Chains A and B, each alone.
Chain A
Amino acid sequence: MLSLKHISKWITLGGKPNFLLKDVNLTINQGEFVSIMGPSGSGKSTLLHIIGMLDDFNEGEYLFMDQPVHTLKEKQRSALYKQHIGFVFQAYHLIDELTVYENIETPLIYQNVKSSERKAIVADMLDRFQIVGKKDLFPTQLSGGQQQLVGIARALIAKPQLLLADEPTGNLNSKQGEEIMDLFKQLNNEGVTIIQVTHSEKNAGYGSRIIHLLDGRIEQEQQP
C-alpha cells in the first residue's frame, strides 16, 4: 500500500542538522495493523504525520498507492489523502461548535457528497457506533471515550483504506481504551489498514506488526 525509502527529516538548530527521522525504510501492505512504538522524541508522531501527508520530509521517497508523494503538488496531495486516509488523535480534536452529527458529517462535506447521501452515510455510522442518541450533543457534553468514538467515526466516514491513529487511547481510562482497541481490531478485520502510535505494549499487541523507533531510526521490528 505504501512504502518509505530512505526518508530523513531534520531541523537545523544552531547551524547543525538535528535529525527527527534518519534513513527510514518501511513498507506497509494492505490490511496490516501496524503499531509504532518508542520513547518520547523518537520520531513516532513525525513518522505518522509524514505517512499521513500532514508533514513533509527533507530526503527520500514516499510511494502511496503507487503515487510518488514527494513529487505531488500540495493540492494533489490533499486530494489523495482526503480520499484514502482517516485520522484519529489522542486529544480527539472534535470541533466544539459542531454537534456529534455535524462533526462526523464534515469530511463528507469536503468531498462534495450530496446532502441526502450524507444523511444516509452518517446515519449508518451513528447506528454502527451506537451513538444515535448522542447525535445532537456537543463534544463538551460527552465523556472522553465517547468523544474518541466520535473521532473514529469521523475518521471512517469517508471509507478510507488507511486509518492513522496518534495515541488514540492516551487520554482514556483503561476500560475505554480497551473498547477502542477492540474496535480497531474489528475494523482491521474488515479490511482497513491501521497504523497507530502508542506507548502501551498492551495496545501494540492488538496489531500484526510492531515497529520500534529510537532517535529517528527504526531500531527493531517484531511480530507480537
Chain B
Amino acid sequence: MLRNYFLVAYRNLTRNKFFSSINIIGLALGLTCSLLIMLWVLDEKSINQFHSNGNRLYTVYEKQYFDNQISGQRNVPGLLARELKKNYPDIEYSTAMTWNEQNTFRYGDKILQMPGTYADSDFFKMFSYPLLHGSAGTALSSPVSVAVSRKMAVALFGTPDAAMGKVLRVDDRKDFTVTAVFEDMPRNSSWQYDYILNWNDKLESSPWVRDWDNHGPAAHVMLRAGADPEHTEKEIRNIITSFTGEQAGFKAEVYLQKFSDQYLYSNFKNGVISGGKIEYVRLFSIVAAFILLIACINFMNLTTARSVKRAREIGIRKVVGAMRYSLIKQFLGEAILVTTIAMIVSILLLSLLLPVFNLLTEKQLLFPWQNLKFWTAIAVFTFCTGLLAGSYPALFLSSFKPILVLKGVLKIKGSANWFRKGLVVFQFALSSLLIIGTVVVSQQVDYIREKNLGYNRNNLVKIEITGELAQKTQLFREQALQIPGVSGITIAENDPLDLGNTTASISWEGKDPNTKPEFTHIGIGYDFVETMQLKMIAGRDFSPLFGTDSASFILNESAVNKIGYTNPVGRPFTYQGRPGKIIGVISDYHFRSMHIPIGPMVLHLKRNPAWGIAVARIEAGKTQAALHQLESLVRRLNPAFTFNYQFADAGFEQSYRTETLMQRLSGAFALLAVVISCLGLLGLAMFAAEQRVREIGIRKILGASLQSLFVILSREFLLLVFIAFVIACPIAWWAMNNWLQDFEYRVQMNAWPFALAGTAAIAIALVTISFQTLRAALANPVKSLKSE
C-alpha cells in the first residue's frame, strides 16, 4: 500500500513540475527560516548553561530604594561576596568580580592588552572553566596570582606549558605570577575573558571598592548542595544595612538570581527582574512559528487548489474500496514526502545561508552535523510540519462524494472556499504586519542615526589614557595639537559618550532638602565644549585664563531646569561638598543611549585625571594619517601600553546593535513572508481559474473583453488582500507603538509605513495573480466548454 501511495505521490510531483516546485520552494523557505531562528534561539538559550554546578550558582542583585524609586542592579559593594560566604553556612563559595577590564600585560618585550577581570579564589571552584595547568584550589590563591587563557598563554609565552610560574607586569604597576592556565572560554559563555587577576589586588589598589557605600562590582555565590535558595535569599536580604547602618532616604536589599538566567533576563523594572534578551528570543520564535505557519498554509492552499485534478483519483479509490482513513493516510503521507524533500532543500539552503546569517546576527552558529539530537529534532519537525501542512488537504480531499466527483459535478463547498480565503487573508495580514514593522524599525533606526545628538560624532576619536600617559596629559595635548589633521583634543575622566556615573551629593540655592536627585557627573579638561562641538547656551567653557575654575561648574539644560534658576550663570552650586558657581550652560547632548532620557548633568574641571579618555577631533579626510601619528605619539609617551582608540561613530553603531539587527532581520523576515504568501496567492489564483473556467468560457462567448475578465478574476483577490491589510493595521500599530516605547527618543507613528505596506501588498498581489488571470482570460472558450 505504501509503495502504491509513494508511486502516486512521486508521479504527481514529477508530472506537475511547476506546481511541485513552488510548493517545495515555499515550504523550504519557511523551514530554512525556522531552522535558522531555531539555531539562534538554541544558541542564546545555551549561554552559561554549561557550568556543572549551574543549579547552585547564583548572582547577587540589589533592590535599591531611594528618591521614591525602586531600582535593581547587579552592582554591589566590593566586600559583600566575602561577607556572604563568611556569615551564611548555606553559601559554600563566593566571588566578587569586576566588569570587563582591559589591563595591559608585559612579558619581556611583548606588550598585550586583552579582556579579563578580577575574581576571588573560589572562581574556578564555582565555574566550570577547565584548567590546563594549576588547580582550582590554588589558581587565584595569592594577591599576585593571575590565571591566563590558553590564547593569552600562547600569545605571550608560545605554549600553555611555558606559562606556569612566569611573571607578568600588569599595567606597568605590579608583577603577577601565572598560577593557572585555563582553556579558552567556550562560545556559549557570556564571559570571554583571557585572564583572571586576584581579587585582593583590586581591594588593595582601589580603596573605594572596600567602601560599603559604593556599589560597583558583581557578586556570585554557590550554595551548598541541598540548600534552599529562597531561604538563603531571605536570610541575606538586609546584609548591606547591617554593615552601613540605617541610612536616611536610602536602602539596599540583596536578592539572588540564578546565574544561568542572568544572560537572558538581564533587565530590571522597579527593582524586579523583567526580561532582557529573552524578549528577542520570544519575538523571533514567534516570527519563526508564523513564517512556518504561512508556509504550511501555503502548502494547504496549493494542495487543495489542485483538488479538482485529484478529485477523480479520490472518487475512483473510494469506489474500488478505499476507506476514508486510508485516503487521509495517503494524503498525509504525500504531505510528509513533500515536507521531507523541502527539508532536504532547506538543509542545503541552511548550510549556504549560515555564514550570512552569522554575519547578520554577529553569532558564530555552526551547523550541528554530528548532533544526533538535532537530526532527531529535524525528523520530528519534518513529520509535524507534514502533518500540519497535510491535515486540511487530507481531510478536505478525502471527504469528496465519489459519485459527484466521477460525474464531474464537483462543486467545492462554500465553506471550503471560505477556509482557503481565510488562509490567504491570514498570510497577507502577517506579511503586511511584517512590512509595517520593518518600515517602522527602519524609521526609528534612521531617526537614531540622523538625530542631532547634541555633539558631532563624525571624525571624533576616543583614545584611552593609561599608564604613564596619565601623568603626561598636558604634554600629550600640546603635542597632539601639533599633528596635522588634529583640530582639537580634550581629556575627560570617563567616556563622555557613555556616562553612567551619577551623584546625589549636590546642592543649590533653594533646594528641597527632602529630595535627592541624581546628577550625571564628569570631570573634564579644557576645550571639551569646542572639541565635542557642543552648543554653549550661556556663559563659557572652562579656561586656563581663569584660575578659579576648579570651583566652577558647567550644567546642561536639564540640570538648569531641575534646579530652576532663571539666570544660572554666576549662581552658586555645590558639588560633592565643593561650593562654587555656575559658569556656563550647555544644551543637552546624548551622553548615553536613546533608550534613556537625557538627565541633569554637571561638568567639573579635572586638570590631571589619573585615568580617562582623550577625545580628539580630526579633520575630515586626514583620519588615517592623523591617527597614525597619534599612535606613535602615545606609544612614545607611554611605551608600556598598547594604543587603544575608538571612533565615536563606531561606538555609536555598537550601542544600537540590537536595533540594527532588528532592522535587518525584520526586513529579511518580511521579504520571506511576502514571497511565501505570494506563492500561496498564486495557488489560489490557479484554483480559482480552474474553478471558473466554464464561467469565463461562457462570458467570452457572450462577448466579454479581456479587461473585464481580468477585473472579474482579480477583484476578489484584491479584496482579500485589502481585508488582510485592514486587519493588520491596528495590530501593527499596537505592536510597533509598544516597541517604540522602549526608546526615550523616538519617531511618531505615522501613516507612511501603513500606506507603503498597503500599496506594496496590493501591487505584489496584483503582479502575482496577473499571470494566472491573464492565462485564464486568454484561454480558448471552446476548449473549456467542450468538457461539459
Whether the pair A97, B15 counts as a contact (CB closer than 8 A) is yes
- Please give, as numbers and ranges, the residues of chain B lying within 8 Å of A111 by CB-CB distance: 321
- Whether B21 sits at the interface, judged by CB under 8 Å, is no
- Whether A187 sits at the interface, judged by CB under 8 Å, is no
User: Which of A24-32, A86-94, A124-132, A172-180 interfaces with chain B?
Assistant: A86-94
Whether the pair A93, B315 counts as a contact (CB closer than 8 A) is yes
Of all chain A residues, the one with the shortest Cβ separation from B405 is A93
User: Which of B3-11, B457-465, B747-755 interfaces with chain A?
Assistant: B3-11
Q: Would you give the 0/1 interface string for A45-60, flagging 1 where the beta carbon is closer than 8 Å to chain B?
A: 1000100001100000
Whether the pair A54, B403 counts as a contact (CB closer than 8 A) is yes
- Whether A95 sits at the interface, judged by CB under 8 Å, is yes
B4's contact among A55, A75, A106, A158, by CB below 8 Å, is which?
A106
Whether the pair B313, A95 counts as a contact (CB closer than 8 A) is yes
B110: min CB distance to chain A, Å: 73
Within A8-63, the residues touching B (CB, 8 Å) are: 45, 49, 54-55
Whether the pair A105, B315 counts as a contact (CB closer than 8 A) is no
Number of interface residues of B (CB under 8 A): 22
- Whether B756 sits at the interface, judged by CB under 8 Å, is no
A98: min CB distance to chain B, Å: 6
* Chain B facing A: main interface SS: helix
Number of interface residues of A (CB under 8 A): 27
Within B1-24, the residues touching A (CB, 8 Å) are: 1, 4, 7-8, 11-12, 15
B317's contact among A105, A106, A155, by CB below 8 Å, is which?
A106
Within B315-361, the residues touching A (CB, 8 Å) are: 315-317, 319-323, 326
Q: Would you give the 0/1 interface string for A99-113, flagging 1 where the beta carbon is closer than 8 Å to chain B?
A: 000100111011100
Whether the pair A102, B317 counts as a contact (CB closer than 8 A) is no
Whether the pair A95, B316 counts as a contact (CB closer than 8 A) is yes
Whether the pair B406, A91 counts as a contact (CB closer than 8 A) is yes
- Please give, as numbers and ranges, the residues of chain A lying within 8 Å of B7 by CB-CB distance: 97-98, 102
Whether the pair A106, B319 counts as a contact (CB closer than 8 A) is no
- Whether B402 sits at the interface, judged by CB under 8 Å, is yes
Rounded to whole angstroms, the CA-CA distance of A81 and B8 in the bound complex is 25
- Please give, as numbers and ranges, the residues of chain A lying within 8 Å of B315 by CB-CB distance: 93
Rounded to whole angstroms, the CA-CA distance of A26 and B316 in the bound complex is 27
Rounded to whole angstroms, the CA-CA distance of A95 and B317 in the bound complex is 8
Rounded to whole angstroms, the CA-CA distance of A109 and B317 in the bound complex is 11
- Whether B420 sits at the interface, judged by CB under 8 Å, is no
Of all chain A residues, the one with the shortest Cβ separation from B15 is A97
The 4 closest A-B pairs by CB, nearest first: A82-B321, A110-B321, A97-B11, A107-B320
- Please give, as numbers and ranges, the residues of chain A lying within 8 Å of B321 by CB-CB distance: 78, 81-82, 107, 110-111, 158
- Please give, as numbers and ranges, the residues of chain A lying within 8 Å of B317 by CB-CB distance: 95, 106, 110
Q: Given A97-B12, A109-B1, A109-B4, A75 and B323 touching (CB < 8 A)?
A: yes
Whether the pair A49, B403 counts as a contact (CB closer than 8 A) is yes
Rounded to whole angstroms, the CA-CA distance of A69 and B315 in the bound complex is 21
Whether the pair B326, A87 counts as a contact (CB closer than 8 A) is no
- Please give, as numbers and ranges, the residues of chain A lying within 8 Å of B406 by CB-CB distance: 89, 91, 93
Whether the pair B322, A110 counts as a contact (CB closer than 8 A) is yes
- Please give, as numbers and ranges, the residues of chain B lying within 8 Å of A96 by CB-CB distance: 313
B665: min CB distance to chain A, Å: 42
Whether the pair B319, A95 counts as a contact (CB closer than 8 A) is no
- Whether B215 sits at the interface, judged by CB under 8 Å, is no
Rounded to whole angstroms, the CA-CA distance of A102 and B322 in the bound complex is 15
Interchain residue pairs with CB less than 8 A apart (19):
A54-B402, A54-B403, A81-B321, A82-B320, A87-B320, A89-B406, A93-B315, A93-B406, A98-B11, A102-B4, A106-B4, A106-B317, A106-B320, A107-B320, A107-B321, A110-B321, A110-B326, A154-B320, A158-B321
Of all chain B residues, the one with the shortest Cβ separation from A107 is B320
B327: min CB distance to chain A, Å: 10
Whether the pair B4, A105 counts as a contact (CB closer than 8 A) is yes
Rounded to whole angstroms, the CA-CA distance of A154 and B321 in the bound complex is 11
B786: min CB distance to chain A, Å: 14
B328: min CB distance to chain A, Å: 14
- Please give, as numbers and ranges, the residues of chain B lying within 8 Å of A87 by CB-CB distance: 319-320
Within B391-411, the residues touching A (CB, 8 Å) are: 402-403, 406-407
- Please give, as numbers and ranges, the residues of chain B lying within 8 Å of A158 by CB-CB distance: 321
- Whether B312 sits at the interface, judged by CB under 8 Å, is yes
- Please give, as numbers and ranges, the residues of chain B lying within 8 Å of A98 by CB-CB distance: 4, 7-8, 11
User: Which of B4, B8, B321, B402 has the largest count of A CB atoms less than 10 A from its CB?
Assistant: B321
- Please give, as numbers and ranges, the residues of chain A lying within 8 Å of B1 by CB-CB distance: 109-110
Of all chain A residues, the one with the shortest Cβ separation from B11 is A97
Whether the pair A93, B322 counts as a contact (CB closer than 8 A) is no
Of all chain B residues, the one with the shortest Cβ separation from A115 is B3
Of all chain A residues, the one with the shortest Cβ separation from B5 is A109
Rounded to whole angstroms, the CA-CA distance of A191 and B730 in the bound complex is 72
Whether the pair B323, A78 counts as a contact (CB closer than 8 A) is yes
Whether the pair B403, A94 counts as a contact (CB closer than 8 A) is no
Whether the pair B319, A54 counts as a contact (CB closer than 8 A) is yes
Rounded to whole angstroms, the CA-CA distance of A110 and B314 in the bound complex is 13
- Please give, as numbers and ranges, the residues of chain A lying within 8 Å of B322 by CB-CB distance: 110
Of all chain B residues, the one with the shortest Cβ separation from A87 is B319
- Given A95-B316, A97-B15, A106-B320, 14 further pairs, Cβ under 8 A: A49-B403, A75-B323, A78-B323, A87-B319, A93-B316, A93-B319, A93-B406, A94-B316, A98-B4, A102-B4, A109-B1, A109-B4, A110-B1, A158-B321
